[in-house]
Structure 1
Amino acid sequence: MVYIIGVIGEMLNKRIKDLENEKKKLEIENQKLLNAVNDMKMLLSQLQLRIYFEGEGLIVLLERLRELEILDVDEIFTRSVEIIAQFFELETLHLYRCEGIFLRYVAGIGSKKLPNAFEIIKSKVIEDALKNGYSTLPKIILRSDINEYEPWFAVTIGEKNNAFGVLVVEEISTEKFSETLIKYINAVAGCLYANTRTALEQERALETIYKKSDGTWDEIYYLKKKDVFEKRREKFGIPYEELCISYKPEMHETIVNTFRKSDVLTVINQGNRIILKALLPVCDSQGKAKVIERLASKYDIKTC
């Protein structure tokens, strides 16, 4: 009797194991089917994307970019980033301007982990994009180890090795990420650069009217730029600061040369002491405090 029960037990155990194996096989097959469905969905999504982009959609986007008021480079960038992000349904899109070996933040939407200013070599994705037109995180990972935070992809604005700026997407879902999407954004960046060149020509024309020989600007231009910075802060949360200092006339040239190229300066009064006001784009209160601290450590200045 015991022997019979033992045999039956063994048979039941074998049956249970067989069922468990069958269950695992079914789970694997089910996962394969789910993966295949997801692949088909992604493929369908990309096909729909191409049909839309290559139809009227992309034309409408380019027209919207061309219709922007071309008054100021920072303003056209600020407004263009929003339009491009909405069109491609990107949750994050940020634009940096090239200043020598540095990148400085201009405008963007969504969360941002990269700093407002940093050396180009700090990001391998961006560095590669500036050399080749665009680059992606998967491409860089295949080449070398990643030691610092990297965006998903970056697209150059302007010519390779002589770029004006770069569009950066830090986060994107795997469903949206594709070579097709990046190539279309790259094409749009080309159009944006064409608009930018026109704006730069206008800015150079404004320099002949409003920029003085000492590197400061007429107050009319200063107030216009302040209005642009204020709009960027209200709409996109991009900070800027304004400082006011006074100092002796003989220190004027030296002090003006300590400011960044992107800072906008104006002299609002002259007398025994010069009163200088400065707009500091993409700068917070701590950054402003550091600027004042640095100036105060070298020169006899007073805040006003």
Structure 2
Amino acid sequence: MYSVTLIVEHKYIEQLYIIPLIIFSIQHNIAAQLLNILMYSLFVLFISKREYNLGEILLQYCIILSAFISSLFHQNRIIEIKLLKEELKRSEEKLESSKKYINYLEDVIDKLKAKLIYENEGISTLMLDLSWVYVEDLREFAYIFLEKVTTFLEIKKAGFYLYRNGFLRVIASIGNPSIGFSASENQSLVIKKALEKGSCSIFEVFNQVSHLEREPLLAVRVGEEKIIGVIIVEELEEPILLNSIEKNLKILSVWLATKLEGIEEEMKKYKLPDGTYTVDFYNKIKQRLADFFEKYGLPFSEICISIHNDELKSVLKVIRSDDIIAKIKDDGNRISLKILLPFCDEIGQISIMERLKHVSKTIEFSGC
């Protein structure tokens, strides 16, 4: 209304510049506003040919000052809006982070609930579940045991090693064993102490070993008077739960020892009086090892030999206790044998072949 009054009363078209001046002052940033005010000042006070009296000059300066003050208010509003946007962005990031943390806490709560159920009735339920598994092979049952236990206890890498006279040999493994397929009890302080007192974790020998990377996180003995083997844990989802896992594995190991002893006795029915196994049993174990290799990448080997009949006992003495040997041909004085080497790679196969050469003077190797 003020602008219209000026135009009607004075009839000066330059007064129309007041409208874009005011609009610019509330629409654009401070640099554009100052440029607009400067152009208005030049147009009205210097470029226009009309002569202004003192009152009109003061009026123009009031308009310019008002536009400048409006520009400052608008700039302040822009800064506030920018700050609010940044604050909103930070709040959204915090909200997203809070959502992720809430989801994490919900997962933790779910896991704790599952573990509480396990602590109350899970061990007995797991044992009952395993007791329904009927297998005739020690390795297969060890695998089934490890698969179920490691899944429930969130163990990423573990193995079960048979123990024979200070020597350990893996018969089941979830993930490739870091300490190898075979080891001496003196190779690891954790394992050695577990064999002596039932179990041992890395925390118990932390200050006694120089190379911690060579030690498993946990070892639990299976068997009391007769040590059958040891469960070795090498990697966990939640290392902080190591003590709880050790306690649970110790309980399970008592039951496992009884179960494995029964399976060992069951396996003996496939053993012939001369110390070899039936060909059917040999092929059954070979197929299972092939399945393990496809599933876990764990190797096995075969050796086929021909020896003099009276050298069989010597050959049986040098092969490993869990190797399977079957007689495939008997020509009276000479016999042909197939030897199945579970969890044995090419290097181990060569080592066993060298041992066989030392105990048999008539040995001949052939392709299987």
Of residues 290, 296, 300 in structure 2, which corresponds to 1:240? 300
Stretches of 4+ moved more than 6 A in 1? 43-46
**Number of matched residues?**
259
Aligned to 1:127: 192
Whole-angstrom distance in 1 between the partners of 2:190 and 2:226? 16
Which residue is 2:338 aligned to? 277
Q: How much has 1:83 moved relative to structure 2?
A: 0.9
- Which position in structure 1 is the counterpart of 2:73? none
Q: TM-score, normalised by structure 1?
A: 0.76
Correspondence 1:89-100 to 2 at 5 A: 89-100=154-165
Q: What is the letter of the counterpart of residue 179 of structure 1? A: N
Give unpaired runs (5+ residues) of structure 2. Answer: 1-100
Indicate how the Cα distance of structure 1 residues 255 and 62 shifts in structure 2: closer, same or farther if over 3 A, else same.
closer
Structure 2 residue 364 is matched with structure 1 residue 302: yes
Q: 1:235 to 1:64 in 2, by over 3 A?
A: farther
Structure-2 separation of matches of 1:54 and 1:165: 25
In the alignment, structure 1 residue 291 sits paired with structure 2 residue 352? yes
1:246-285 paired onto structure 2 within 5 Å:
246-271=306-331, 272-285=333-346
- Does the CA contact (< 8 Å) of 2:154 and 2:237 recur in 1? no
- Structure 2 counterpart of 1:188, from 252, 258, 262: 252
Q: CA deviation at 1:248?
A: 2.6
> Which structure is larger by alpha-carbon Rg, 1 or 2?
2
Structure with the largest fraction of helix: 2
Q: Is the CA contact (8 Å cut-off) linking 2:155 and 2:236 kept in structure 1?
A: yes
- For each residue in 1:107-157, what CA deviation from the matched residue of structure 2 results, as whole angstroms up to 9, or x when unmatched? 111242102111111111111111222111011124x23346101111111
1:156–1:166 Cα contact (<8 Å) kept: yes
Q: Equivalent residues in 2 for 1:1-304 (5 A)?
A: 48=113, 50-142=115-207, 144-147=208-211, 149-159=214-224, 162-172=226-236, 175-204=239-268, 206=269, 210-271=270-331, 272-296=333-357, 299-304=361-366
C-alpha separation in 2, matches of 1:146 and 1:302: 46
What letter corresponds to residue 239 of structure 1 in structure 2?
P
Deviations 1:224-254 (A, max 9, x none): 2223322322222221111111123343332
Match in the other structure for 1:16: none
In structure 2, the CA distance between the partners of 1:197 and 1:251, relative to structure 1 (3 Å rule), is closer
Kept in 1, the 8 Å contact 2:154–2:238? The answer is: no
Percent pairwise identity? 28
| Structure 1 residue 173, shift from structure 2 partner | 5.0
Q: 1 CA distance for matches of 2:239 and 2:200?
A: 18
How far apart, in 2, do the equivalents of 1:138 and 1:65 lie? Answer: 31
Q: Secondary structure at the match of 1:178?
A: helix
C-alpha spacing 1:62/1:120, structure 2 compared with 1 (3 Å)? same
Q: How far apart are the structure 2 equivalents of 1:111 and 1:228?
A: 17
Retained in 1: the 8 A contact 2:155–2:237? no
Q: Is the 8 A contact 1:91 1:171 kept in 2?
A: yes
Kept after mapping to 1: 8 A contact 2:176/2:298: no
TM-score normalised to the size of structure 2? 0.64
- 1:89 deviates by 1.2
Q: Counterparts of 1:197 and 1:293 in 2: how far apart (Å)?
A: 32
- Alpha-carbon distance change, 244 to 62 in structure 1, aligned in 2, over 3 angstroms: same
Q: Render the CA deviation track for 1:78-125: whole Å, top value 9, x for unaligned.
A: 111111111111111111111111010111112421021111111111
SS at match of 1:170: strand
The higher relative CO (CA closer than 8 Å, separation ≥ 6) is in: 1
- Residue 29 of structure 1: aligned partner: none
